[in-house]
Amino acid sequence: MNLLFHLIPKEKVAFVEETNTLRQVMEKMEHHRYTAVPILDKKGKYVGVLREGDILWYIKDLKEFNLMVAEKIVINKLPRVKDHKSVPISANLDQLIELSIQQNFIPVVDDRETFIGIVTRKAIISHLSKGYNNGKK
């Protein structure tokens, strides 16, 4: 499997920067209907993934929450339960399959750890399904 054939490039991925506010992130996630988004630093390096659950647990521990409060919270302050592991552009199919068991998408980085896009679990399953249907295993 050539990873590039299944890569959704950065330009087509909803991502956030670690300096974004909680309100900005919540609005982006709502707009795209995503439950998790990649976090990048100002240089475009992959930092991790923010999930709805991370946001909900954080809000639960606040004594008061509203959109005015959310505008003051920078997401790099939010604890994350776990991050999606990224892969280099040279990753092989076995690496993608292994990660796709636990992650619904896999962030892809170049040699400088710069985020270049994602490969979805759906793309991996579709690729494997085509091979299986063609008599390959």
Per-residue pLDDT of the chain (137 residues; tens, 9 = 90+): 677 789 999 999 999 999 999 999 999 999 999 999 999 999 999 999 999 999 999 999 888 888 899 999 999 989 998 889 999 999 998 999 999 999 999 999 999 999 999 999 999 998 888 765 555 55
Dihedral pair phi/psi, residue 53, rounded to 5°: -60, -40
The answer to whether residues 121 and 104 touch, using CB atoms and an 8 Å cutoff, is: yes
Gap between the Cα atoms of 53 and 29, Å rounded: 12
Among candidate residues 83, 114, 109, 87, the one with its CA nearest the CA of residue 98: 87
Domains of the chain as residue ranges with CATH: 3-133 (3.10.580.10)
Among candidate residues 55, 43, 44, the one with its CA nearest the CA of residue 81: 55
Look up residue 81 and give its DSSP letter: S
Tell me the whole-structure pTM to 2 decimals: 0.88
* Token representation of residue 41: 């630093």
Dihedral pair phi/psi, residue 26, rounded to 5°: -60, -40
Residue with tokens 């795209």: 32
Q: What is the dihedral of CA 129, 130, 132, 135, to 10 degrees?
A: 170
Plot region of 96 (φ>0 → left; ψ -120 to 50 → alpha; else → beta): alpha
